[in-house]
Chains A and B, each alone.
Chain A
Amino acid sequence: MSRTITVEGDVNAVDTRVLLTTQGSVTAPSLVVPAGMTKIKKIIAAASHDGAADDGSAIFFIRLGGNAVLNGEQSIMIGGAGNQTVQSGSDAAPNVMLPFILDNVDIDVRPSDTISIAAEFAGVDIGDTAVAVTLVYGK
């Protein structure tokens, strides 16, 4: 049996750790690891950026920590994005990232403790970004 938690948030400054604590219309989803779940089995993550900064090149990563994560904080790259000149009007190109799906993650967690999920982008500012992460728990 698996259980899931999804969180998302805006990350609008480079090299800034941002806790992801919301879930769209749900402003405070529970971050307690469900009872009986002892592993993170899968991670699904995606990030987008508006490209509203010239000469941008940045990589996105997440941090998994808190009391529930055993063996210390885990950091995992999820994607990258770049853009040269801020575009406007009909010239503006979309920046679409398919989700990064990491199987067989096998991170030990302690059920009934709280996990923290944070996201950052690093490198050169690429404008405003949004990051969403799903954790799939198992045994």
Chain B
Amino acid sequence: MGKLYRSREGSITAVDTKTQLTTLGSETAPGPLLVPSGAKMLSAIIATVACDLATAADGTHFIRLEGPGLPEGPESLVVGASGVQVATGGSYANQAIRIPIDIPVTPANEILVFGENAGEDSGSTGIGVTLEFAA
């Protein structure tokens, strides 16, 4: 079996607030993100962050993975940081990152994906996460 890629995204509008990522663009209710049949591990996380830079502040962005699909318990990973000196002037674009990992999973069980901002309130932030499953 080849690798399988499953994604979720969402917006985070307050600092230090755990926010579940439950949508996927045009799919407003894609349902639970279940570990695919045959998958034995999470081999990587692909993540991207987009901030509107609405405040002259700096913050960090990280994700949490939880749920019965992770037999070893919850995980957390830093996926980026952003800041701007003048609240009206920010504009940027960046590519996603791939973080190789090796986390066992339980097929047919759900993984909950959360995003969170920390540090100062850096504005409204979109976070997208792809889970890369492997056999």
Residue numbers of A with Cβ under 8 A of B are 15-17, 39, 46-49, 51, 55-61, 70-72, 74-85, 87, 91, 93, 95-100, 102, 105-108, 120-124, 126
Q: List 15 A-B contacts (CB under 8 A).
A: A46-B95, A59-B126, A76-B5, A77-B47, A77-B48, A79-B93, A84-B52, A84-B53, A84-B54, A84-B123, A93-B91, A95-B91, A121-B25, A124-B124, A126-B50
Count of CB-CB pairs between chains A and B under 8 Å? 164
Give Cα A91–Cα B89 distance, bound, in whole angstroms: 9
What secondary structure prevails in chain B residues at the interface with A? strand
Are A59 and B127 interface neighbours, CB within 8 A? yes
- When C-beta atoms are compared, the residue in chain B nearest to A105 turns out to be B3
B129 at the interface (CB under 8 A from A): yes
Give Cα A84–Cα B96 distance, bound, in whole angstroms: 20
Are A79 and B25 interface neighbours, CB within 8 A? no
- Contact size range, B: 35 or more
Are B90 and A79 interface neighbours, CB within 8 A? no
B65 at the interface (CB under 8 A from A): no
Q: Inside 8 A of B50's CB, which chain A residues have their CB?
A: 57-59, 80-82, 123, 126
What secondary structure prevails in chain A residues at the interface with B? strand
Q: Inside 8 A of B52's CB, which chain A residues have their CB?
A: 55-57, 82-84, 124
B window 1-46: CB within 8 A of A: 1-7, 9, 11, 23-26, 28, 36, 46
Q: Inside 8 A of B11's CB, which chain A residues have their CB?
A: 57, 123-124
Residue numbers of B with Cβ under 8 A of A are 1-7, 9, 11, 23-26, 28, 36, 46-54, 82, 84, 87-96, 98, 123-130, 134
Q: Inside 8 A of A79's CB, which chain B residues have their CB?
A: 48, 93-96
Assess A80 versus B89: contact at CB under 8 Å? Given A57-B11, A97-B94, A106-B3: no
Are B95 and A99 interface neighbours, CB within 8 A? yes
Are A59 and B48 interface neighbours, CB within 8 A? yes
Give Cα A108–Cα B52 distance, bound, in whole angstroms: 37
Are A81 and B93 interface neighbours, CB within 8 A? yes
